[in-house]
Amino acid sequence: MSNSDDAFRMVLIIGAVLVVPAAFYYRLKSQAGGETLDRRQEGLFILLTLRPIGLAGLLGLMVFMVNPPAMDWSALPLPDWLRWMAAGLGLVGGVLLLWTFQTLGPNLTDTVVTRKTHSLVTHGPYRWIRHPFYDSAALCIVASSLVAANWFLLLTGTLALLLLVARTRKEEANLLNRFGDDYRTYTERTGRFWPRFHG
């Protein structure tokens, strides 16, 4: 293992230590009510593909953090300057992710289903975009793939993101059904993944 790989491995470990416990906390807190969510609403294809692909990428990342040479089979020849830039991108993604978790509070779910006590969140990062969680996931996936210089992480992450984007249509349909005109008005002034700039 090269010195640079060891440094990038430590960057990923530090990022995980800062983000994962907080994400775990918000996830547990949102499930305190014990409500069962019907994930079948995602559709069979998303249900059978999204989580296994995401898990494969997560396992690959964990292997890199424990033993980088074990992932040499999918290494990319990237310059160190690009990998350090990606570390900065990951910092932005991590901050956005934690801000999103904090803003969602008890509304947080890992599926397209809204909770019985769900409220329409339009503050925090939701003031500008409807799906900041997916934006933060994209930033973190791209960043960790480039920091690790690994095409397997990039591939599994990209596939997971594409599936999340495909799932967004059903998620927004559920929100429109739940909140009606309030959600329709909200969509007219916000972008799905990018802020909507008005002239």
Buried b (16+ CB within 10 A) or exposed e, 156-181: bbbbbbebbeebbebbbebbeeebee
Instruction: Tell me the average pLDDT across 43-49.
Output: 91
Closest CA to 146 of 58, 75, 68, 56: 75
Residue 179 lies in a domain: yes
Residue 36 lies in a domain: no
Structural domain total, the chain: 1
11-38 pLDDT, tens per residue?
Answer: 999 999 999 999 899 888 888 777 777 7
State the burial class of residue 2 (Cβ atoms within 10 Å of its Cβ: 0-12, 13-18, 19+): exposed
Per the confidence metrics, is the pTM higher than 0.95?
no
The boundaries of the domain holding residue 144 are 3-23+41-108+120-189
106-143 pLDDT, tens per residue?
Answer: 888 888 877 778 889 999 999 999 999 999 999 999 99
First-residue to last-residue Cα distance in the chain: 52
Task: Kindly report the CATH number assigned to the domain that includes residue 125.
Answer: 1.20.120.1630
